[in-house]
């Protein structure tokens, strides 16, 4: 192997890691401990071991701690949540690299249950601290990694509707995927639901608890799966590491359906996405519309060489976290910037958003250049920043600037 292609599913309870081309995955509790005797840092089962031996102080729920700007005090030293998460990630990557000494990281995709900007910024900061170029690191939602994993299978697995149950200590979730063949390209629509019936996996340790959990899943299956035709059903998460505790649920989902159990599906899907970044031509020729992705395309109409054209500032299917663009245009008497928003669902229906250039200097036509920068706070909220660039020495730039949030 000459390059490492890594997918990491990072959650508050457990972290799973997969390397492209490797059958086994790593499953590590998301905890870190500082050993009292040597001051060393340990993660996962080692962290639990030293804590049980009273030789270390453990910190858990590292993602939540980082998002809340929380701290943990260990041996009278206060550590920031972001710092503890960085040290945890450093040791996870060191563990993977130890299996492949001298092999550089070519791509890394981190899969998250919730796409929170503060956490994503923190993880990109971790990449910087670990010496991995940001160009090689991407963040994807669980839903997107579900899509990549399923669409890596044979077409008869995903030719119709696909459902999936994810069971972990954090939550019980249901996912759904439908691939639609359009006139120009395929669109993969995927979404998830958090189910209120979630339960702690500790209940599976007793026969009565397992029976109760089986009944809960059966009730969810009855509600979610009835009257729908599925190509396949997937089961993932630590709770489905084995399925013998849920005989009635398995009987229900397997009735006239193909069922696949893959506890590390999100990590494997992340690794598949990571590998696709290295291909000249994507192995997944579809627009993915799901959590973490833009649902609409944002464009501007401009004149170029006497022709009116549309320039896309952001495209449906892009990661909202990575979607950024800058465009400079010369105004020809316009007093507002007009954006065109379209959805793949209804490409003929266009929504116009006009941003008045209030506070900008009045100049003759074609003597004002403006810079338009676009970024996103989440998949539905676009931030547009418009800055006056003037027009040479004749019309110097001013401090005129507009920042506006737009729902897309």
- Per-position DSSP letters for 51-72, written without gaps between them: HHTTSEEEE--HHHHHHTT-EE
| pLDDT tens figures, 270-299 | 999 999 999 999 999 899 999 999 999 999
- What is the structure's pLDDT at 403? 97
- Spatial distance between the Cα atoms of 174 and 367, rounded to a whole number of angstroms: 55
- What is the structure's pLDDT at 26? 97
| pLDDT tens figures, 216-246 | 999 999 999 988 899 999 999 999 999 999 9
- What is the structure's pLDDT at 23? 95
- What is the structure's pLDDT at 215? 97
Whether the CB-CB separation of 176 and 162 falls below 8 Å is answered with yes
- What is the structure's pLDDT at 1? 78
User: 188: pLDDT confidence band, cut at 50, 70 and 90?
Assistant: very high
| pLDDT tens figures, 110-121 | 999 999 999 999
Cα angle: 157, vertex 159, 164; to 5 degrees: 55
Whether the CB-CB separation of 349 and 328 falls below 8 Å is answered with no
- Spatial distance between the Cα atoms of 268 and 8, rounded to a whole number of angstroms: 8
- Spatial distance between the Cα atoms of 367 and 65, rounded to a whole number of angstroms: 51
Whether the CB-CB separation of 156 and 276 falls below 8 Å is answered with no
pTM of the model: 0.94
Average model confidence (pLDDT) for the chain?
Answer: 95
- What is the structure's pLDDT at 274? 98
Whether the CB-CB separation of 341 and 353 falls below 8 Å is answered with yes
- What is the structure's pLDDT at 184? 75
Indicate whether 347 pLDDT > 90.
Answer: no
Listing DSSP states for 390-407 in one string gives EBTTTB---S-EEEEEEE
**Backbone dihedral angles phi then psi of residue 236, each to the nearest 5 degrees:** -145, 170
Span 10-14, average pLDDT: 95
């Amino acid at each position: 192997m000459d390059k490492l292609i890594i997918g990491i599913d990072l959650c508050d309870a457990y972290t799973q890691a997969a390397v492209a081309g490797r059958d086994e995955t790593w499953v590590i509790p998301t905890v870190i401990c500082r050993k009292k005797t040597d001051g060393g840092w340990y993660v996962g089962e080692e962290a639990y071991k030293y804590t049980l031996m009273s030789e270390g102080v453990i910190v858990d729920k590292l993602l939540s701690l980082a998002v809340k700007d929380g701290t943990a005090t260990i041996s009278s030293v206060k550590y920031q949540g972001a710092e503890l998460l960085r040290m945890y990630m450093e040791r996870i990557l060191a563990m993977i690299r130890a299996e492949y000494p001298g092999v550089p990281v070519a791509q890394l995709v981190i899969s998250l249950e919730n796409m929170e900007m503060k956490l994503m910024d923190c993880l990109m900061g971790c990449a910087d601290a670990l010496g991995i170029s940001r160009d090689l690191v991407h963040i994807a939602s669980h839903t997107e990694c579900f899509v990549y994993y399923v669409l890596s299978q044979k077409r008869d697995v995903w030719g119709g509707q696909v459902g999936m149950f994810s069971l972990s200590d954090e939550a019980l979730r249901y996912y759904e995927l439908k691939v639609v063949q359009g006139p120009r390209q395929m669109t993969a629509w995927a979404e998830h639901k958090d189910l209120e019936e979630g339960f702690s996996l500790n209940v599976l340790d007793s026969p009565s608890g397992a029976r109760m959990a089986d009944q809960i899943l059966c009730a969810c299956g009855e509600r979610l799966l009835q009257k729908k035709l599925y190509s396949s059903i997937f089961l993932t998460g630590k709770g489905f590491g084995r399925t013998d505790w849920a005989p009635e649920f398995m009987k229900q989902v397997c009735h006239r359906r193909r069922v696949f159990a893959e506890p590390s599906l999100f990590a494997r899907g992340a690794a598949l996405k990571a590998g696709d970044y290295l291909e000249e031509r994507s192995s997944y020729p579809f627009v993915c519309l799901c959590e973490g992705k833009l649902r609409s395309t944002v464009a501007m109409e401009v004149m170029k060489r006497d022709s009116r054209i549309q320039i896309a500032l952001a495209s449906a299917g892009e990661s909202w976290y990575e979607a950024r663009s800058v465009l400079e245009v010369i105004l020809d008497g316009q007093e507002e910037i007009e954006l065109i928003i379209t959805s793949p669902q209804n490409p003929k229906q266009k929504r116009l958003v006009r941003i008045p250039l209030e506070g900008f200097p009045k100049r003759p036509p074609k003597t004002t250049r403006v810079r338009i920068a676009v970024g996103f706070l989440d998949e539905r909220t676009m931030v547009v920043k418009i800055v006056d660039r003037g027009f040479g020495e004749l019309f110097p730039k001013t401090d005129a600037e507009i920042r506006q949030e737009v729902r897309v």
